[in-house]
Chain A
Amino acid sequence: MQLKKLVVAAASVTLLSSSLASADTLTIATVNNGEMIRMQGLTDDFTAETGHTVEWVTLEENVLRQRVTTDITTKGGAFDIMTIGMYETPIWGKNGWLVPLDDLSAGYDADDILPAMAGGLSYDGTLFAAPFYGESSMIMYRTDLMEKAGLSMPEAPSWSFIAKAAREMTDRDNDINGICLRGKAGWGEGGAFITAMSNSFGARWFDKNWNAQFDTREWSDTLNFFYNMMSDAGPAGFATNGFNENLSLFQQGKCGMWIDATVAASFVTNPKDSTVADSVGFALAPDNGMGVRSNWLWAWALAIPAGTQKEEAAKQFIEWATSNGYIELVAANEGWANVPPGARTSLYENANYKDIPFAKMTLESILTADPNNSTVDESPYVGIQFAAIPEFAGIATDVSQEFSAAYAGQQSIAEALAKAQALTNDAMEAAGYR
């Protein structure tokens, strides 16, 4: 260990003496989403600007989560920047594991970050991760099929309208499903969707004393409504469909409606990948007249683990990747429809972006989502499609597995809810909440 200490000491001395001039190599862990892969392709621009080089570790979402969580909790230091979400940021920030991003340069214009995003990526008023892109959820629907069904989509529809429209639009002979929704197990997949949906039905995960609420009528209503609608108007095998499966179904023209992440709008309107690109309309996620809509709020953001020796370079990278300059770079290369959405206010004031068909509805969806007041009845947690407590991911994965088993017909909805209730209470007890 002596040698290691010596090396560390030597390294920090050199770092001090040459922190401005030296060129670092940053190791960045990120998810294999389209926006991040595009960023990877543009890294040369960052290197040209600052002299720092970047090594990418691009992983599938589940592997990434597992990887970065192990590293941050053990202070492993394998990464200089990690791509994390709105769920992890406040929890890690609270533990002091992230470098506060409160001293970014003036040119970066941190005040331009959408307040909803900045709020979700802060703990105690301090920003701990900078949003690369942000999203809510909304309805994407086929204008041609809607017309054919003799209906017109209101800007802010109710669940009963959606269920009716879904059944009307379904055309099994032509392989058209009225509605495609996530049923896949996993807290970030079907779990996120059903939780956001349940909010609009007046349900919540926990009461003020952290008791699980799956034995309430609201949850039973949510699940039954979802299951019945999907059985009548959803694709076969919806119990295993997540974001990606539904995207592909929608692009192939097999869905009348799809309620999912706002970032999907640029994929379904891109004529290169989508067969229905010119007939997609957008509307706010449905509600039930109870004052809460069913849209969520999420951001993929870049954060720096505390203890990295390349803090300065890492900050430079974050400033580069989440700046207006980066948005313009992407716009110049790939067009305005492909810039990372949902992170900055100025993007939605930009004249070039105004013509993008989904820009307005994306912003409105983001603005109507409030993580601090996500449920009809008061709840003790922050977050819309999740509860920002460390135990949530594990519990919600188990719960969503029970739900998916019910969607697949392996158990009844009542059984799934009873199991969810028991396992949630059990896990909360284990964690010392109850």
Chain B
Amino acid sequence: MARTVTPQKKILNTALSWTLAIIIFFPIFWILVLSFKTEGDAIRTPIEVLTSTWTLESYSIVQERSDYLKHFTNSIIIALGSTVLGIIIGVPAAWSMAFVPSKRTRGILMWMLSTKMLPAVGVLYPIYLIFIELGILDSRTGLVVILMLMNLPIIIWMLYTYFREIPAEILEAARMDGASLTSEILYVLTPMAVPGIASTLLLNIILAWNEAFWTLNLTAAKAAPLTAFIASYSSPEGLFFAKLSAASVMAITPILIMGWFSQKQLVRGLTFGAVK
């Protein structure tokens, strides 16, 4: 929606936008700065912080103390695994709700969403006991399943709202041409749904990556992702701003970069049917 505005107005808008953006982004920028400082410098006044020497000390301490790569790999597997599994289960469900709606469709959808409101803490003991029984405590499989279930309602809803925007006439036309259901899904629906699926995928990777209750409470050494890595730097004895900053930067950078690079795809489907 490119409209022409007066240069003055453009300057004003630019200045305003940049101010806002800098304020919002500042906390992230600041931990990035602190992560390259010594512990002693990290607690000084902002000007002293900026003028003090830069060092990689905190990163090397963090790297020495914990196995970042292990936590990182676990985070990737858990986030990707749960999302892909969720989409495999979610696509058919969303498809059938979008194209063969019945009286119960809305009820089912709302019920699915309501399962997300179950407070996780309340069911920690039951889930823990089930995990022990199934022998999947501290396993990536267990977390993939739990996080898939956590996010499935969101996945289905996102896909559903996206699929609904695909005009049914196209499918009918395909069917008239004698396309089978499989080819209908494969050749007609899927290409149209790719943006929606992509953005669902991205959003749910973010949600799964950042989930901190189950990933912390159901893991020990083997399956612990980056949330557990952070928990070992959160409030130790002595000064810790620099180390905490370094650990935080290491934990958020992968997802931040992914988010930035794919923001167009993410935004395209992130409307939950908000835009018609």
Contact = CB atoms under 8 A, between A and B. Distances in A.
Interface of A: 4, 27, 29, 32-34, 37, 40-41, 55-61, 63, 66-67, 70-71, 74-79, 243-244, 247-248, 251, 267, 273
Contacts of A267: 237-238
Nearest to A70: B128
A61 B236 CA distance: 8
Interface residues of B, number: 32
A70 B137 contact: no
B43 A248 contact: yes
B192 interface: no
Contacts, number: 85
B137 A34 contact: no
Given A27-B221, A66-B217, A67-B216, 19 more contacts: A29-B220, A32-B236, A41-B64, A56-B66, A57-B228, A58-B66, A60-B234, A76-B128, A76-B131, A76-B137, A77-B132, A77-B137, A78-B219, A243-B237, A244-B237, A244-B240, A248-B239, A267-B237, A273-B238
B232 interface: yes
A74 B43 contact: no
Contacts of A247: 237-238
A261 B66 CA distance: 27
Contacts of B237: 33-34, 243-244, 247, 267
Contacts of A70: 124-125, 128, 217
B241 to A, nearest CB: 10
B41 interface: no
Interface string B201-234: 0000000000000001101111010001001111
A60 B236 contact: yes
Given A40-B65, A243-B237, A57 B132 contact: no
B contacts with A: majority SS: loop
Contacts of B110: none
Contacts of B234: 32, 60, 63
9 contacts: A41-B64, A70-B128, A75-B132, A78-B220, A79-B220, A244-B236, A248-B238, A251-B239, A267-B238
A248 B124 CA distance: 36
Contacts of A243: 237
Contacts of A32: 232-236
B239 A273 contact: yes
Nearest to A3: B135
B168 interface: no
A341 to B, nearest CB: 14
A359 B228 CA distance: 36
Contact of B217 (A67, A79, A251): A67
| Residue among A4, A60, A243 with max Cβ neighbours from chain B (10 Å) | A60
Contacts of B219: 78
